[in-house]
Structure 1
Amino acid sequence: MKKITPSDEIDPRRRSLLGAAAATLAALPLGVATLADAQQGPTGAKGQAAAKPASHASFPAIKQIDAGLLNVGYAEAGPANGPVVLLLHGWPYDIYSFVDVVPLLVAAGYRVIVPFLRGYGSTRFLSGETVRNGQPSALAMDIITLMDALKIEKATIGGFDWGARTANIIAALWPARCKAMVSVSGYLIGSQAAGKAPLPPKAELQWWYQFYFATERGRAGYDKNRHDFAKLIWQLASPKWNFDDATFDRSAAAFENADHVAIVIHNYRWRLGLAEGEAKYDEYEKKLAEAPVISVPTITMEGDANGAPHPDPSAYAKKFSGKYAHRLIEGGIGHNLPQEAPEAFAKAIIDVNHM
């Protein structure tokens, strides 16, 4: 893939911000390569993550706000008048995936907001009668209503796993709300029809948990063994990331949310067409089933040791019609890229803002 870099022409009003970002990140060992650069050899030692060990163990505070159907728990840091960055986690992860990304962005002048998705952490449904719906467009609408509640008109959105899919959906359906996007594993918009199509046997094997969750035994097993199940997924998805128990346990606490199992099970069953969604999201899902092209400036990223199911970058490059670049992060980086390579992820957020 051709290397695409941001324009050298920078708005003078942004020069101070870019300067701060450069000072923050210039000396860090990012282990970043484009696909073309990757052919020249790895930037990190074989089998070792290029990222530094985690240096932050907490966020200053978790705030709560009513937004749409939810009371959302979120971390916030940085200047109130800074350009806004929203960071979205996946399954089975939580906001701690970004605990080392946030300080880098704050140092560069950004206001950073990291919400718990529905079914995680301190995010709660406002009504016990609300359907515990995990379909992708519902999660995207949660973020739009959060932005409305926080009076944020537009934000740069970054994410991985469920968070990347949510960012993709917002960029596709509400491009006016998305200034730019960083998406780990690229274009992840799908549909129930696509989910019903069989894959080659090796690819089906990677989705073993999706089939497990389709059964009542799987729902009960996940509910009973949330901690061990999530830890296994971490190990399989990031086989070269030697995270410690304290790192995992900080995130595992978010899975004790009373709605967590219901949201996770519904998400995967909905993808296979085994569970109904809600009619109010039908219009969005219809548009998403057409695999819409994304026009906002985008950087896609991939770790060189991602053990989770993910598409090849060549399969989705044409889904981005605006300014676009892809980065391969080398050095044993797995699925949880923001936590395994926070410097690289933060740099992508900063760079995409100047594309």
Structure 2
Amino acid sequence: MKISLTQPTDRSTILIQLELSDLCIIIHTSVLFDFYETLYIWLGQIRDSQLPASTKFYEGGYFIELIVERASNDILWFTIDQQKYEYETIHITTATKLDELLKAFHDGITEFVKHEYRPSDWSVIDDLRNINWGALLKSPTIPGQNWQKRLLMSKLRAYDGKIEQSEDPEERASWKQLTPEQQWLIVLRDVLIAVIPVNNRTPSIIALLSLYRTLPVDIALGEIDSDWYEGRRVALNREYELDKMRSFSQQEKECRRILTTTRLKMLRVGQIVDGTVKRIKPYGLIVDIGGVNALLRTFAISQMPVEQLDLVFKHGDWVRAMIVSMDIERGRVSLSTSELEVEPGDMLKQPWKVYETATEKQP
């Protein structure tokens, strides 16, 4: 048996060609939906002899089902049911050995991924390289390998955490088969995918989503292959230069810190500065004074009590204030407008008057 995959340049389709002893079958699969995760799980079921095992997918108005059943201790029946039209069905069964079947699929997929696969043509977060196909040829070394439960968990969608209220009784029944910890890990998986808008997904974000979306299921089933995840992470870092991006981000932060320190060194206590209200807190205002965040505490706004801060200031308001204290090492600046008042309460009644006469208060 030989299995090979091709990806035509003019279509969003992957062709699976199965060469049996006396015939050849070509299966069309679209790259617009996720079939290969269930294919991987199906092969895993076969590997661990959880038989009979079947996987089904639809394409172009017809369905194809691949079925494996045990014929004897060493031999399997591999059946392909292909319904082309309403009354036309192709039914093919051939005998094969378990190792031969797994190796044929493994070799066909890994060769395709290595030489022909174009991830850019794939759907949003599916990437065949982020499936551990090599595990199919290994003896089960990770405890469990519960492929039936993995299949169940792959089909559930729970980003809103309300799957137990689903109108689908089969879905509700599947959900109840999971432990609370497994349920929450499925919610985590789907939330991570759902919260990032599609139009904000850079290639690097897509790569990481694709890699780690199976991690919660691996954790839930206690079947994490740490070596594989580490190797794949290293490969993604190299492909998308993620380490350089993180390094650049750190350089950017360091640059901002240096600029902030430089700006602080140019300020002095008693100086009148202009700023913009960035945030309104219960204890005062966070004011941007040219790239530096300064604090104007509520009690420093006026010589009269300020009962409702949000009635005096709004987000984005212009503020003119005096610097009353500074800590350059800790990056802290404290402001006061009460020091600029001619009469107590001017900041609450006529702040423009305070701002107009502010420079007269500057030493």
TM bracket, shorter-chain basis: under 0.3
TM-score normalized with structure 1 length: 0.24
Q: Greater strand percent: which structure?
A: 2
